[in-house]
Amino acid sequence: MTGTPAPGMHTTPKLILFYNPLHWWNDWMEGKTDSDDVFQGCSVKNCIITKDVSKLNASDAVFFNMHTLPNIPKKRRGQVWVFSEFEAPANFADRDVLDKFNGAINWTFTYRRDSDFHIPHGRFIKRSKDSEMNDDDMMSKLSGKLRSKVAVGFISHCETHAKRMEFLQEMKKSGVHIDVYGKCGDRQCYGKNRHKTSWNITQNHKNKCFSATVPTYKFYMSLENALCRDYVTEKSLNMVLRHYIVPVVRDGANRSLYHPPGSTVETKNFRSALHLGIFLSGLNSNKSAYQNYFKWRKYFSTEGILNSWNEGICDLCQRLHNESKYRRVYSDIASWYINPGNQPACYKPKDLYKKSYG
């Protein structure tokens, strides 16, 4: 007996292969591969995920993470290839690898806003009028912050395109107190390298070090490892803003597209790293000025990357069932990634001693 499929169902399931999954993709897929479990909250549910590369030829879509790619398979006609990358071009830009995908990539699934599927590391959701946080509740959450230490960062990549450790050292010359956990600092908690699980997408691997440490500071040093277009990571989104702390942001993005006004301290607004350090020391002892950085919480709540990732996967499943409507080909994926619109996606930081941004 046949009939019209139920809403959200299609007669033929679409198989999505994660060819070389990142560790947090594996966390997300744990116990759910070769099934449609991850699509049960989607409007179109009839898709299956797998990481079994022996199913390459049977797959309808194949995810490739570029900076961990072991090899490049021969393309099967009619198959959708998805470019997925969450590192900035400054950290991975092997043009020889990327050029091999020219004319082969159909969809992009990245942090970039011009991707076919834009996956931000977190976002802000406008509260409904009846769910706005009242001033008393908000202030009660800040009541202990005046006793907090000044600034903290979790950093394990020390030599970076953005020269962030040099930037921190210049800030410290102002006398501002900044603690750094991880390989680049002298602070540790709950055992060596436990901070590494702080950014786990599924939150299955809770990190007591991060969640116990961050609330004891007023400022989080959200310094990206590269200054690139739209490259805004968990360092100022996702887990950081789950805590009552003010991010000090240094990246290459348009801040107004990512954070509510008045929610961050932007390094580009200061003449130098030294001047920024002086400002933080002053703000540290100014209760009313510091509390102003939390007014946005009355009107917005936050979501982590898992929400945007799941929505992107749902959207991809839906498009696979109507592929001809969305099909496209990137003739030069390397240029799209490295030089979008004939402009460099990343830029080198200028003299850190004279200018704190760019």
Q: How many domains would you assign to the chain?
A: 2
- Residue 353 pLDDT > 50: no
pLDDT band of residue 5 (cuts 50, 70, 90) is low
- Let me know if residue 207 belongs to a domain: yes
CA distance 249 to 270: 12
Instruction: Answer yes or no: do 79 and 112 share one domain.
Output: yes
Domain's final residue, options 304, 332, 353: 304
pLDDT of 1 over the 50 cut:
no
Same domain, residue pair 131 and 114: no
170 shares its domain with 298: yes
Instruction: Give dist(CA 42, CA 86) in Å, integer.
Output: 23
Average pLDDT over residues 74-97: 86
What's the whole-number mean pLDDT along residues 28-48?
95
Q: What is the pLDDT of residue 211?
A: 81
Is the pLDDT at 2 greater than 70? The verdict is no
Within-domain flag for 50? yes
Domain extent at residue 143: 124-304
| 195 has a pLDDT exceeding 50 | no
What sign for the dihedral angle of Cα 200, 203, 206, 207? Answer: positive
Q: Looking at the structure, do residues 76 and 130 belong to the same domain, yes or no? A: no
Contacts of 298 (CB under 8 A, 6+ apart): 127, 132, 133, 134, 135, 138
Instruction: Report which of residues 110 and 74 the model is more confident about.
Output: 110
User: Residue 293: its pLDDT value, please?
Assistant: 94
pLDDT score for 197: 42
Listing DSSP states for 258-323 in one string gives TS-TTSSEEGGGSSSHHHHHHHHHHHHT-HHHHHGGGGGGGTEEEEEHHHHHHHHHHHHHHHHTTH
Mean pLDDT over the full length of the chain: 87
| pLDDT exceeds cutoff 50 at 299 | yes
Rg (CA), the chain: 22
Q: Assess whether 177 and 38 both reside in one domain.
A: no
Whether residue 292 is contained in a domain is answered as: yes
**Predicted TM-score of the model (pTM):** 0.89
Q: Are residues 264 and 136 in the same domain?
A: yes
Question: So what's the pLDDT on residue 194?
Answer: 43
| pLDDT at 357 (0 to 100) | 43
Domain identity same for 157 and 296:
yes
- Considering the domain architecture, whether residues 191 and 290 belong to the same structural domain is answered as yes
* 157, 132 contact by CB (below 8 A): no
- Please tell me whether residues 37 and 174 are part of one structural domain: no
| Percent of the chain whose predicted confidence (pLDDT) is above 90 | 57
| pLDDT at residue 3, rounded to an integer | 44
Q: What are phi and psi of 29, to 5 degrees?
A: -85, -5
Cα–Cα separations (whole angstroms), residue 316 to 16, 228, 336:
9, 26, 20
pLDDT at residue 142 greater than cutoff 50: yes
**Closest Cα partner for 29 from 309, 237, 220?**
309
| pLDDT reported for residue 247 | 95
- Judge whether 354 lies within some domain: no
Confidence of residue 349 (pLDDT cuts 50, 70, 90): confident
Question: Region 61-89: what's the mean pLDDT?
Answer: 89
Q: Which residue has the higher pLDDT, 172 or 212?
A: 172
At 245 the pLDDT is 92
Q: Is 102 exposed, middle or buried (0-12, 13-18, 19+ CB in 10 A)?
A: middle
| pLDDT value of residue 198 | 46
Mean pLDDT of 157-181: 94
Q: Can you tell me the distance from the alpha carbon of 274 to that of 241, in angstroms, rounded to the nearest whole number?
A: 25
Residue 280 shares a structural domain with residue 245: yes
Give the model's pLDDT for residue 135: 80
pLDDT band at 187 (very low <50, low <70, confident <90, very high): confident
Q: What is the DSSP string of 17-71?
A: EESS--HHHHHHHTTTTTBSGGGTTSSS--EEEE--GGGGGG-SEEEEEGGG---
Task: Mark whether 129 and 22 lie in a shared domain.
Answer: no
* Same domain, yes or no: 171 and 288: yes
Q: What is the CATH number of the domain that holds 166?
A: 3.40.50.11660
Say which CATH number the domain at 105 has: 3.40.50
